[in-house]
Amino acid sequence: EDASPGKIGSLVVPNLRVLILLSLPKLSGTLCKGQLYTTLRELTISDCREVKEVFRFDPSQHSQSGVPNLESVWVECCENLEMIFSSSNNSRNLILVFPKL
């Protein structure tokens, strides 16, 4: 998937432990779609005013999804943020697991 201005294209970082997004006023939409982020421990998002969703999981690909090693979430100054964690079809069958949060 190509990235257009303000959008992130498909990016897979299998060993990502810390994700910090600061002062990205044109970054918009959903940041992370469909992937399991099993190694992510810290998430910080600040002043990303156009972001609407952070993680969107696809329940057709995974019966159990989440960010199992996530220990810290900090979100501020993201006025358009609607959801941090969601499913692609609002499925009630998706189980999000955060044992360390």
Chain segment 30-79, per-residue pLDDT in tens: 887 766 678 889 999 999 999 999 888 776 665 555 688 999 999 999 99
> Domain residue spans in the chain?
18-97
Task: Give pTM, 2 decimals.
Answer: 0.76
Give pLDDT tens digits for 17-34: 999 999 999 999 888 776
Mean pLDDT over 71-91 rounds to 87
* pLDDT interval class at 1 (50, 70, 90): very low
pLDDT at 45: 95
DSSP 34: S
HSE, side-chain direction, 13 A CA sphere, residue 7: 9
pLDDT score, position 12:
67
Closest CA to 65 of 31, 94, 99, 101: 94
